[in-house]
A and B are shown apart, each in its own frame.
Chain A
Amino acid sequence: MYYMKYYSHTYKFPAQQIRCGGGHHKEMFITPSRFQWNKCKDMVHYYVFLGVIPLSLITFFVNIYVGPATLTPIPENYKPKYWEYYRHPVTRFISRYIMPNPQMEYERHMNVLHEEEERRQLYLLEKKVKQLMAERSDYQAYYYSPNTAIKYYRKMKEVKKEENDRQGDNL
């Protein structure tokens, strides 16, 4: 009941006292909202204790005790790693452990371009073939519709001829 000091004027009303066997009364304290104060404390805890202080400490000690690199010419027969092209130790850390190797990404991208180009060439070839088949109609493929009903036409023609022969023209 620490807040009673501040809110001694709050109204306490007892809940139903049907069973007061244990002797304790349930009371509801009407107090003003402490939401803003609690939220403020949460934000201070989060942003300062988990944000400002650890990051400041890391920045301070990295800049003092590790320090930035010195620019040197590349020694003979030595190929620097991809993170050794940056100066600040935090940038080098991010480049080494978080970001991918730029040369690897470059070559992967070229591989993707090559595959897509091969797919594109195959698509263009198919398109050309279909266009020629449409123009020339000389190939039993894409635009071909098989006239399999011709045998029925021939049969009906025979039947009609036989009827015509039997019945004559003046009907």
Chain B
Amino acid sequence: MGDNKTPRNIFDGFINAAVTLIDSPVTWFRERVVTPNRESYPWYHQKFRRVPTIDECYTDDVICFYEANSQFKRDKAVDSEILTILRVRMEDCNMFHGPDAEAKCKSLVETYKEAEANWFCKYGDLGFHGNVKDAYMKQKHRMVWERRHGPVGSGMRDAAAAAGDE
């Protein structure tokens, strides 16, 4: 903050002076009063151990389900943040380049689209009360569907063909 370069013209000098007028008392207060009187102390990001996932739990094991569900919710929060970061990058690129965005931002857009599809595969359409068991069943249904009809996105075969190939 505060341009300390040599001003190129009078307007530059005026803007420099205005910024310095506001900035220097704050900087003085920070450097003379605040920083010497503080001791720096740390804080950390919590690391959670990986616990058995839902496919490793018995059906009547409530504790295993609770731990798997908590891990699922944590993973969903982390994945949502990752998706947000990718989306912000893509949107910044699009907004910056404007009309050239199709040519200039292709890789960012592709990365984001792929990440969004993967997020939807795992967490989408589960509803507000969706838990890890619902996600697991969703995966099971998708795998059965893919076994009958081929990869997702290639259309449904009719019942006879699907039953024959399965």
A residues neighboring B (CB under 8 Å): 64-67, 69-74, 80, 84-87, 92, 106, 109-110, 113-114, 116-117, 121
B residues neighboring A (CB under 8 Å): 33-34, 37-38, 40-47, 60, 62-63, 66-67, 70
15 further A-B contacts with Cβ under 8 Å, apart from A69-B40, A113-B66, are A64-B34, A64-B37, A66-B38, A67-B40, A69-B41, A72-B44, A74-B44, A85-B43, A85-B45, A109-B66, A110-B63, A110-B66, A114-B63, A117-B60, A121-B60
30 contacts between A and B (CB under 8 A): A64-B38, A66-B38, A67-B38, A69-B40, A69-B41, A69-B42, A71-B42, A71-B44, A71-B45, A72-B42, A72-B43, A72-B44, A73-B44, A74-B44, A74-B45, A74-B47, A84-B42, A85-B45, A85-B46, A86-B43, A106-B70, A109-B66, A110-B63, A110-B67, A113-B62, A113-B63, A114-B62, A117-B60, A117-B62, A121-B60
Return chain A residues, CB-CB under 8 Å to B41: 69-70
Shortest A33–chain B CB gap in Å is 49
Contacting pair A70 B34 (CB below 8 A): no
Return chain B residues, CB-CB under 8 Å to A85: 43-46
CA distance A77 to B70 in the complex (A): 25
Return chain B residues, CB-CB under 8 Å to A67: 34, 38, 40
Contacting pair A80 B62 (CB below 8 A): no
Return chain B residues, CB-CB under 8 Å to A121: 60
CA distance A117 to B63 in the complex (A): 9
CA distance A110 to B61 in the complex (A): 11
Return chain B residues, CB-CB under 8 Å to A73: 44
CA distance A11 to B47 in the complex (A): 78
CA distance A74 to B45 in the complex (A): 8
CA distance A70 to B41 in the complex (A): 6
Contacting pair B40 A70 (CB below 8 A): yes
CA distance A59 to B45 in the complex (A): 25
Return chain B residues, CB-CB under 8 Å to A69: 40-43
Shortest B101–chain A CB gap in Å is 34
Return chain B residues, CB-CB under 8 Å to A71: 42-45
Contacting pair B44 A84 (CB below 8 A): yes
CA distance A67 to B42 in the complex (A): 11
Shortest B28–chain A CB gap in Å is 14
Cβ-closest 10 pairs across A and B:
A69-B43, A72-B42, A67-B38, A117-B62, A113-B62, A85-B46, A80-B44, A110-B63, A74-B44, A65-B37
